[in-house]
A = this chain, B = another copy of it.
Amino acid sequence: MPKLWDETIEAHRAAVRDATLDTAAALVAEHGPASVTMSRIAERTGIGRATLYKYFPDVGAILTAWHERQIARHLDHLAAVRDRAGSPEEGLEAVLTAYALLSYEHREHHRTEIAALLHHGEHALRAQQHLRDFVRDLLAEGAETGAIRGDIAPGELAGYCLHALTAAGGLPSKAAVHRLVTVTLAGLRPPR
């Protein structure tokens, strides 16, 4: 097959996949997770049921794939935020702020039953590890320049920050989220 044809097929598959995930997420948001069935997704997307089953064995697989895509987008967002920052120290502050804002913006979603299920999946644990390593590396860079305390291993500091910033999910405003980032960063500075 010519290369163009391959690319067309690939793009078509990605489009079917994306439409399926978007539709499943919309159905969950509108009517709750119990309402989502393969038939409803097929109907809403206009994809045939037989075709849908070639992509995903069941609704659970679709929701897991949707969650994986969300997480991947969030990690890409954090990496882009770091890349846009000037110094490593600015990068750390920008990344921690972006992470806290994600926790804040997804606070409603994270209170749902389905979130509790998805967050215990293996893909979620892998993403957490990835995020932790990403923040750990930023902290290690900061420790080298003296901006971050060097008396505690960067991996432990990463655990501290990420847990502290999940408090953003219970805050009432973005201003409060920025104050949380300020306090969390203060804990990371070299001791007086």
Contact A183 B116 (CB under 8 A): no
Return chain B residues, CB-CB under 8 Å to A159. 167, 170-171, 180
Spell out A's residues near B (CB within 8 Å). 116, 120, 149, 152, 156-157, 159-160, 162-167, 170-171, 176, 179-180, 182-189, 191-192
* Complex-state Cα separation, A164 to B185, whole angstroms: 12
* Complex-state Cα separation, A166 to B116, whole angstroms: 17
Instruction: Please give me the 9 A-B residue pairs with the lowest Cβ-Cβ distance, nearest first.
Output: A187-B187, A164-B164, A163-B167, A159-B167, A183-B187, A186-B187, A152-B179, A160-B183, A160-B167
Return chain B residues, CB-CB under 8 Å to A185. 187
* Complex-state Cα separation, A170 to B160, whole angstroms: 10
Contact B180 A160 (CB under 8 A): yes
Return chain B residues, CB-CB under 8 Å to A192. 192
Contact A183 B188 (CB under 8 A): yes
* Complex-state Cα separation, A179 to B167, whole angstroms: 20
- Distance between A68 CB and nearest chain B CB, rounded to angstroms: 21
Contact among B156, B157, B165, B171 for A156, CB-based, below 8 A: B171
* Complex-state Cα separation, A187 to B164, whole angstroms: 10
